[in-house]
Chain A
Amino acid sequence: MTLSLLTPAFSVGRNEERCIRCGVCVNQCINQVHHLDEDGFMWVTEKNCVGCHRCAVLCPTQALTITRFPLDFRPNQYWSADSLREIYRQAESGGVLLTGMGNPRPYRSYFDHLLLNASQVTNPSIDPLREPMELTTYLGDHSAGLSEAEKPLLKLEIPVMFSAMSYGAVSLNVQKSLARAAREMVTYWNTGEGGLHDEVKEYADCTIVQVASGRFGVSPDYLNNAAAIEIKIGQGAKPGIGGHLPAEKVSPGVAQTRMIPAWSDAISPAPHHDIYSIEDLAQLIETIKVATDFQKPVAVKVAAVHNISAIASGIVRAGADIVAIDGFRGATGAAPLRIRDNIGIPIEMAIAQVDQRLRDEGIRPKASLVSAGGIRNSADVVKILALGADAVYIGTAALVALGCHLCQTCFTGRCNWGIATTDRQLSKRLNPEIGAMRAINLLKAWEHEIKEMMGGMGINAVDSLRGNRLMLKGIGLEQHELDLLGVSPAGA
């Protein structure tokens, strides 16, 4: 092995006056950044630091600071430090660059160029602390006529669900935390494509199970032990790329849940080989409905890509009750960096276009629209609902609530926060009771904020917000962007 040209990504500073040599940082860092020798000297191996902040957060005397490693390349607007470092890494490894979480590049965020309305004088605003405010949302096929049998629907008391995150990509304690929070808040969590572990089966009434190309753990029991079934076609972090759980993360528990041998790779490539067309998708949807006696809504999740509105129209016509669209900010446990950072389109554009297309074609009531990927706060929720979504999935925000610091190294399986790992010891760092409480707190806070924003607009039911683009104004956007989003500019 030749000398690596890569300098550490982070610098670890220790205030020697504050450090009491307690060893917390040593014990907490699975990457072995800190070392305390028998003479009482603290050593750091900075190249191992991923910037997860576990040591700095837990240091009882706040003796630690984590900063970007201070190595400035000669200023160059085109060749950024990252673009050089990526080449060094590839030149020494010959590998496809692998990373985690969502697209961090400075593409325009349309959420940050949309402003919400509020009532003044002519239409009174509503005080959510005094007056009832309805957030109840039903997902599914609403097109049944009065004489027809109603289709199965999912009832949400807050239009925010937890995104698909498989046991394997995340620890079982993450799933337990989110499942408990979903039950408490009357919403849903999603198993991802990794099967359903015995210890979360009790949450069937608030579980959405996923069927992906690898069909891990998919059986009649799996399909029936859920409130809804989601066919995963794609995800925003890696459109056109499938899942690949490396053998290191396939612990005996993961193996049991996926029903594959332990410590073997778990590969689910992008294509379902029984789906080559909309007609084939219709058949898989129907197969699942037959297998579950038409008692459960079936969702189809796709990444937001070019032509998403035509794709979504096909999905609705194929019989999906829910269409989940994952924007290019959507996260993942592992994705090739080039894919994560360069493929897909913004979710704001996708939702606005799909909602409009389904309305134009008169099939909007046949399916609900769920927006995933990049929802950071309650204002993003309100904006995407106004653009046409029925509900949102949150993944990154939920994990941040559980302690994630977005270090983007989930693919190593060595998550110091006990989140993106299947290691037994690391997983214990996330207590599902506390995790559930934190996720519940987040949703409750968002619930209040959503109600306040709605109340300010003079809207007392989320049904009146959905697709209500009059409540949005664009700021700093070009005309064609405003046209695509279906909103007028601020001031107009």
Chain B
Amino acid sequence: MAVFDAVNYDHYSLLQALQLSPDEEVEVLNLNGQRYLGCGWKNSKRLVLHGTAGNNLGAFADGPTILLYGNGQEGVGNTMSDGEIIVYGRVGDIAGYGMRGGGLYIRDNAGYRLGIHMKAYQDKSPVIVVGGQAGAFVGEYMAGGTIIVLGLNGRHNTPTGPYCGTGMYAGEIYIRGEVPEKHRADNSKTELLHGEADLQGILPYLRRFAAHFSYDMDYILAEPFTRLTAVNKRIFSQMYAGFMG
């Protein structure tokens, strides 16, 4: 395993050194906001990061496993195709933007517009699990995949901000606890789910989350979950009138 101390590199030379390293596992120490780590990586490498990762960590990634022991900033997993990003901390806005495959596991909170434009296609179905809270507009324009927000880290009414699922037309959002009416988008319906039997579809994701961050499954499942899905998959179909001249 190659170990790089970020202090010894300027920004691009660090990215280049990581890119060129032949090792299957690469570790970086003392990160201090360096951007674009693992960006565009199409491989099955394991990137272990310590410190604070800058914007667009793992953007466009297609396959690598990225472990971040620290916080991430904006755009973690932006337009990611495949692979797994595990953050032992919090992340900023638009995590998982346009994500179409792989997994994003966040131990603490996520910012605004989590999983915006997330999509699924054939065998590719992305998943985001957030242990803490997420900001407004979770799953905006969502077109596939799964977003799970657990709210395990504090006492609050709901783990997500307002406008949850705005403009979504496919995919599923699971929120541990109940979601107040005012936080839900117009085009969404909710179901309350209890325990393993109801949550079969996402149990593998929850188990993975629990394993990554040493949570007890029974504790996670002790609360009911709310599932948000789109009512109308053609949200704009009635809006237009073709003008033939």
Contact = CB atoms under 8 A, between A and B. Distances in A.
Q: Tell whether A and B belong to one assembly.
A: yes
Interface of A: 9-10, 50-51, 82, 85-86, 89-90, 93-99, 213-215, 218-221, 223, 244, 246-247, 255-256, 259-261, 264-265, 267, 269, 273-274, 283, 286-287, 290-293, 336-337, 407-409, 411-412
B53 interface: no
B240 A261 contact: no
Given A261-B120, A291-B60, 18 more contacts: A95-B238, A97-B240, A214-B117, A219-B60, A220-B60, A220-B81, A256-B121, A261-B144, A261-B170, A265-B235, A273-B97, A273-B117, A274-B74, A283-B56, A286-B36, A287-B36, A287-B60, A287-B78
Contact of B113 (A85, A93, A273): A273
A389 B51 CA distance: 46
Contacts of A94: 241
A71 to B, nearest CB: 13
A106 B169 CA distance: 39
A186 to B, nearest CB: 28
A224 to B, nearest CB: 8
Given A259-B119, A291-B59, A292-B40, A86 B78 contact: no
A134 B234 CA distance: 52
B81 to A, nearest CB: 4
Contacts of A218: 60, 79, 98
Interface in B20-73: 35-36, 39-42, 55-56, 59-62
Given A220-B60, A287-B56, A215 B117 contact: yes
B233 A265 contact: yes
Contacts of B98: 214-215, 218
A379 B144 CA distance: 48
Contacts of B119: 259-260
B234 A274 contact: no
Given A286-B35, A290-B39, A264 B241 contact: no
A165 B237 CA distance: 22
Contacts of B151: none
B219 interface: no
B208 interface: no
Nearest to A272: B97
Given A219-B60, A223-B40, A261-B170, A409 B244 contact: yes
Contact of B143 (A219, A244, A264, A274): A264
B75 interface: yes
B245 interface: yes
B192 interface: no
Contacts of A10: 245
B196 to A, nearest CB: 28
Contacts of B117: 213-215, 273
B74 A259 contact: no
Contact of A259 (B55, B62, B121): B121
B144 A260 contact: yes
Given A97-B241, A287-B59, A265 B234 contact: yes
Nearest to A31: B244
B180 interface: no
Contact of B233 (A86, A221, A264): A264
15 contacts: A50-B244, A85-B243, A86-B243, A96-B239, A96-B240, A97-B241, A220-B40, A247-B234, A260-B119, A260-B121, A267-B141, A273-B116, A283-B55, A336-B240, A411-B240
B124 interface: yes
B97 A274 contact: yes
Nearest to A215: B98
